[in-house]
Amino acid sequence: MSINFLEINNATFVASKKNKVLDLNLTIKNEGDIICLLGPSGIGKTTILRSIAGLQKIPKGKIFLKGKLLSSDIDHIEPEKRNVALSFQDNSLFPHYTILENINFGAKRNRNANYNFDTDELIKLLHLEGLAEKYPHQISAGEAQRVSLARSLMSKPDLLLLDEPFSNVDESLKVELQQNIKKILKEKKITTIIVTHDSYEAFYMADYCGILLSQTMKQFDTPYNIYHYPNSIEVVNFLNRGILVDAKVLDESSVEHKCLGVIKGNFVKKYKKGTAVKLLVQPDDLEHDDKSNLKLEIIDRKFRGTNFIYTLKTENDDLIPVFVHSHHIHQHEIEEKFGVKTPIYIDHLVCF
């Protein structure tokens, strides 16, 4: 049996009396995998990173890196001996060193690493040109965050931990940085755990995502599966994927909703005929069709750039969101009737 790269067994993480994560199990099988932990703020995501880095002790459970025990309720390897780098969300640059000195501060640490960085190359990739001789108080928060990231990379860690790495970075730069970072991490096979509350960032960066809600890991899966097969109502609500409506299972490939009628598709889980379920309806599940007989009242319209989201009200008071492309020939006003194409087909029928 091969050894897992990182293993967290039944570990409890305590941030404060209210905020803790209980009995967490997390396994990273392969070196070079990128994991994103998603969850609302204050849930304890940062605490998990701090504990893996060794800045905090864990009261219960065990953490192994490459088969070596790092933390348990009894043992605790000091952070400087773990070779785990954590890039903080807030500014943690050494104020009396220049940006270049900061970046190179940990460079000598790991001589045995099987990868290497060129400082100049890193500076270019992270868009830090022209800052080398400046001091931390002379640069912006977003720049400081990128310097901190560069510093962590330069120390060539076995495991890289990033705490909201792009939270202070300009929206316009974010996408490019995400691409660059992902490329570096994949090229050098650096195993990384990223904490974020931005689900799109997580879906783009990660090989696997973990959803942390109310003190536990609700779901751990690939981004695709998390998006299309959320395993609980909490995850649906957290990702803000759509709404849940009451429906009845008709047969192996269809359900019936009071107003929307028969909805066809493939069930994610098997249900007995006649079971009352809550069906997930997502904005991209319904299609607009002016000629359709199924007309619903519009109660809200949001402009989202590439599309509009219309909120429709059914006769039994369900509020259903529908995407319509912005270039659609005409717009509909609130209180107008809106046609929905029938019969409705939803690829994955997610029911609870």
Query: Residues 169, 128: contact at Cβ < 8 Å?
Result: no
92 or 292: CB nearest another protein:
92
Which amino acid is present at 147?
Answer: V
Nearer to another protein, 58 or 243 (CB): 58
Site residues for another protein per CB under 8 A: 50, 53-55, 74, 78-80, 82-86, 88, 90-96, 105-106, 109-110, 148, 151-152, 155
Nearer to another protein, 90 or 289 (CB): 90
User: Minimum Å distance from CB 108 to another protein?
Assistant: 8
Tokens encoding 251: 């047969």
Nearest approach in angstroms of CB 51 to another protein is 12
Alpha-carbon span 242 to 227, nearest angstrom: 11
Q: What is the DSSP letter of 343?
A: S
Decide whether 78 or 333 has the Cβ nearer to another protein.
78
State in angstroms the smallest separation of the CB of 94 from another protein: 6
Nearer Cβ to another protein (96/273):
96
Cα 167 to Cα 90: distance, rounded to the nearest angstrom: 10
Smallest separation (angstroms) from another protein to the CB of 100? 15
Nearer of residues 80 and 335 to another protein, judged by Cβ: 80
* Of residues 249, 177, 239, 252, the one with CA closest to residue 213: 239
CA-to-CA distance for 8 and 42, rounded, in angstroms?
A: 21
Of 338, 303, 341, 345, residue with least CA distance to 319: 338
Q: Provide the minimum distance between the beta carbon of 69 and another protein in the complex, in angstroms, as a whole number.
A: 13
Nearest approach, Cβ of 83 to another protein (angstroms)?
7
Q: Which residue has the tokens 């509009």?
A: 308
What ranges make up the beta strands (E) of the chain? 6-14, 20-28, 34-38, 60-65, 68-72, 84-87, 159-163, 191-196, 208-213, 216-221, 243-251, 254-257, 261-267, 276-281, 294-303, 307-313, 319-325, 337-340, 344-349
Closer Cβ to another protein, 93 or 255, answer by number: 93
Write down the least CB distance from residue 115 to another protein, Å.
17
* Residue 70, helix vs strand vs coil: strand
Name residue 232's amino acid: S
